[in-house]
Amino acid sequence: MKRILFTGPESTGKTAIAKSMSAVFQAHWVPEYARDYLANLGRDYQYEDLLAIAKGQWQREESMAAQAKDYLFCDTSMLVMKVWSEYRYGKCDPWILQKLKRHTYDLYILCGIDIPWRYDPLRENPNERTALYQIYLQELKALGVPFSILKGNAEERIQECTKWIRQLHVK
């Protein structure tokens, strides 16, 4: 089973492309746990909540991995948790960092910021997308993992991802 991660700043199409690839390849995808957690929190989140979110995301991904056959498309990961935590609070829980270093994906896809930011009550950084994108780019390089950068409109993204994933299956 191949795990494919879509990562990058908020509102870069991670969920849309994960859902699309799930449909194209008739495979499972792992939705972002933070959305459910924050929607039911009833208060502003705090640093401590990020560890709970990370653990919920980890559990969700592992549960879906147990059901997956050929592919598992992941909408987010510990990389997002690290970037979010450090950007917002200047620190990151060691549990998140440990999981980030030990858990790898077969394909990392960094979603570009060339699509418009869309309002969502859970999104916070409409004016920091360029800075956040650069952070994700640096983090992927620091991890030493091969990654692809996804750009273009929705149809171009679907075509490009489909090509990359089919090439991955051949390897």
Distance of CA 81 to the CA centre of its chain: 9
What is the pLDDT, as a whole number, of residue 126? Answer: 75
What is the DSSP code string of 51-110?
HHHHHHHHHHHHHHHHH-SSEEEES--HHHHHHHHHHHHS---HHHHHHHHH---SEEEE
Give the pLDDT of residue 118: 79
Q: Return the CATH number at 36.
A: 3.40.50.300
Task: Identify residue 165 by its one-letter amino acid code.
Answer: I
Crossing angle (nearest 10°) for helices 78-89 and 94-102: 150
pTM score, whole prediction: 0.93
If the chain, 171 residues long, is cut into consecutive pieces of 10 residues, what is the mean pLDDT of each piece?
Answer: 95 95 96 94 95 98 96 96 97 98 94 86 80 97 95 96 86 53
Task: Please count the structural domains in the chain.
Answer: 1
d(CA 84, CA 70): 30
Q: Provide the domain limits for residue 85.
A: 2-170
